[in-house]
A and B are shown apart, each in its own frame.
Chain A
């Protein structure tokens, strides 16, 4: 059973968002890393890039599968996790911790209401 943690929000694209003031940190969920398995490459958006919620802003490649990385919230990318770019398998080992991918300065806080609670996300993956 996939691990779903409290204290973060989720998206239906299987990403998580941790909100700290006006900064949101995001990564992929434990369910996503388990489905992808063996992640070998990640291309996050660039620092300074303006992203819009719902847009494809990067790519994650595993041995057998490839998936887009979607922006959870609109804003400007402030930080990228160079450690996961260098060793993407960190996402398989620690999806919610060391496996974070990038941080964004939130433009439209009301978008946060569109994100899923842990409970709602649990329901979503129960159906898939």
Chain B
């Protein structure tokens, strides 16, 4: 039986098209993927991301422990700072990508919805040192308010200067009398923030956010546009671009792997992979003429198969097909023309950096 988020009734009220996603009944779209995408790029939109998992780590050794199970270095985090990271299996395959919140007296790990149970079990199985681990996912509602007007909306809700909350920082505050964890984070490339709260306050906060955003034309946004928005920024999606068969180095996530921090799960295998040299890398490409790459399609050069597409879609901002996929080295150079093998082969060109370069995130 699929679960409902605390905002489920709001989605019905807004005529959301509901689908089952990772065990939750979620809105895939309201007005349409493209119009919703544009609302976030140009103004402000609200995502229900309550399906995301939250695992809390308490105890005096929490920094030591989280450093052991993740690849980035949490000892570098100031109080209320957030870090993007991955958890690895001993063979360096990715368990999940996650955000680590360094809160007062606890760490808060925000994980992918589809992986919550798996991750929680993995963390428990690898428990060491003096820590307490709890899965808080079921009781927490989460909203992401995203877009160039997000700060203006937030400023009407919070009684502190929101511009002082920098990208990847968090604070525990109140909206009226409601305690929330507020963070300057998101998955769209636009400025914005996310609110974590007890599900019993969810509908009240939803209404307050929409009231505050009315003058900016605030709209609810479905999972469809969430995917096109993240994709234009080339953010990885677990299950598509990264999974247990991929390692963070080939996925372009070396920047969140800190070999000098001491031991962590997967370190030994990852060092070996690094030493032997990568065999393939995740690249971004855009379609030269027409066509849309789709996941699982093969990527070839004139002679043979070099890899496969992990994510592919139409970019509403660039108005053309874009894709991400693994390609054998050394065929990953920017500017290389390759073919994606769909029904008719599509010429694609490897490009550098995000597809969409005008995002407002700070």
**Chain A residues within CB distance 8 Å of chain B:** 37-38, 40-41, 59, 61-64, 66, 89, 92
Contact = CB atoms under 8 A, between A and B. Distances in A.
Interface residues of B, number: 17
Contact of B32 (A41, A59, A66, A92): A92
A61 B292 contact: yes
Contact of A63 (B17, B33, B343): B33
B290 A63 contact: no
A63 B294 contact: no
A61 B314 contact: yes
A61 B292 CA distance: 8
Nearest to A62: B314
A109 B294 CA distance: 38
A90 to B, nearest CB: 13
B316 interface: yes
A37 B33 contact: yes
A92 B35 CA distance: 13
Question: Which 7 A-B pairs rank lowest in CB-CB distance, beginning with the nearest?
Answer: A38-B33, A40-B314, A63-B33, A63-B314, A38-B34, A61-B292, A38-B32
B292 A41 contact: yes
B86 interface: no
A37 B28 CA distance: 11
Interface of B: 17, 29, 32-34, 224, 227-228, 290-292, 294, 313-314, 316, 342-343
Contacts, number: 38
Contacts of A63: 33-34, 224, 228, 313-314, 316
A40 B290 CA distance: 11
A62 B343 CA distance: 15
A41 B34 contact: no
A118 B292 CA distance: 33
A61 B227 CA distance: 17
Contacts of B316: 63
B343 A59 contact: yes
Contacts of A41: 290-292, 314
B292 A40 contact: yes
B221 to A, nearest CB: 13
B224 A37 contact: yes
Nearest to A56: B343
Given A38-B34, A59-B343, A64-B33, 17 more contacts: A37-B32, A37-B33, A38-B33, A38-B314, A40-B314, A41-B290, A41-B291, A61-B291, A61-B292, A61-B314, A63-B33, A63-B34, A63-B314, A64-B227, A66-B292, A66-B294, A92-B32
A61 B291 CA distance: 8
Contacts of B228: 63
A64 B34 CA distance: 11
A92 B32 CA distance: 10
A61 B34 CA distance: 14
Contacts of B292: 40-41, 61, 66
A56 to B, nearest CB: 9
A38 B29 CA distance: 10
